[in-house]
Amino acid sequence: MSFDDFELNQNDYGKISVKKSTFNGLIIGLVIVIGVAAFFAGSYISNLNSSQISEEDLEAVIAKLELKILQNQLPTEQPNLSMNISVDNDPIIGNPDAPITIIEFSDFQCPFCARFYTQTLPLIYDEYIEPGKVKLVFRDYPIQSIHPNAVPAAVASECANEQGKFKVMHDMLFEKQNEWSRQETVDVLSLFSQYATKIQLEQDTFDSCLTSGKYIDEIKKDLADGRDYGVSGTPGFFVGNDQIGYIELKGAQPFDSFKKIIDAQLGL
């Protein structure tokens, strides 16, 4: 199968959708204040002096309440959606046995995905992935209608993954996005072959994998799964695990958005 066989009706998938919840701003503040008051009324009934409540306890309660608010934002028409997010057999960055998983649906040609890679992922990596608390599962969601080179890039990353160097290729594709994103496909394939040389992949194996388009069906499956999960733009994230469920985050969210969810899920 070639890259020309990759045809999908994506319609609105080029739009970046980041909803503003009615829980934001003042309402979130009120809910947290009420929730904290109720918590301390029950848990610290014998200690009514607020000055004796530790800052750590207060932050822990707020984190749990914020997690509950985020959980309530999941679509009510699909109440079990958060329990059925598959990691499939896609590449993993980090310890495969990490307790919390970030499933990212991403497009290598998407500038917002590059922003997440540049601004947010390094902080997540240092605080959670490197210590083994979180792993990142990368699922392909190339928006071909506006990013014609996204599919070849996804294939290149899968071919690098065959040789155990997904993260190295993943990083290079985002770092050099401006170099390859506006090229013709035939030139892009040549560039990706050069990247493979730079990261010391077995060249003939990589080139054969890349030009065969052998991962097209796998990429299509990722796209289909993403649509089923309600992904409407890139990047899209689901944070959690099969036991506690997943919280959805849309768009290139800042580090603090991930931190609040992860810390609450880890019980920090």
Query: Among 136, 146, 70, which Cα is nearest to 108's?
Result: 146
Is residue 30 within 8 A of residue 175, CB to CB? The reply is no
Is residue 102 within 8 A of residue 93, CB to CB? The reply is no
pLDDT for 105 equals: 98
Please provide the CATH number assigned to the domain covering 3-10+80-262: 3.40.30.10
List the structure tokens of 55: 């800052």
Is residue 132 within 8 A of residue 98, CB to CB? The reply is yes
Cα 30 from Cα 27, distance rounded (Å): 5
| Tens digit of each residue's pLDDT, the chain (268 residues) | 666 555 444 433 333 333 333 333 333 333 333 333 333 233 322 333 334 445 555 544 544 454 454 444 443 333 334 557 999 899 999 999 999 999 999 999 999 999 999 999 999 999 999 999 999 999 999 999 999 999 999 999 999 999 999 999 999 999 999 999 999 988 999 999 999 999 999 999 999 999 998 999 999 999 999 999 999 999 999 999 999 999 999 999 999 999 999 999 999 8
Is residue 36 within 8 A of residue 61, CB to CB? The reply is yes
Residue with tokens 């959670």: 128
For the question of whether the overall pTM of this predicted structure is more than 0.75, the answer is no
Strands 134-140 vs 100-106: parallel, antiparallel or unpaired: parallel
Is residue 180 within 8 A of residue 188, CB to CB? The reply is yes
Cα 167 from Cα 104, distance rounded (Å): 14
Indicate the domain borders of the chain.
3-10+80-262, 25-72
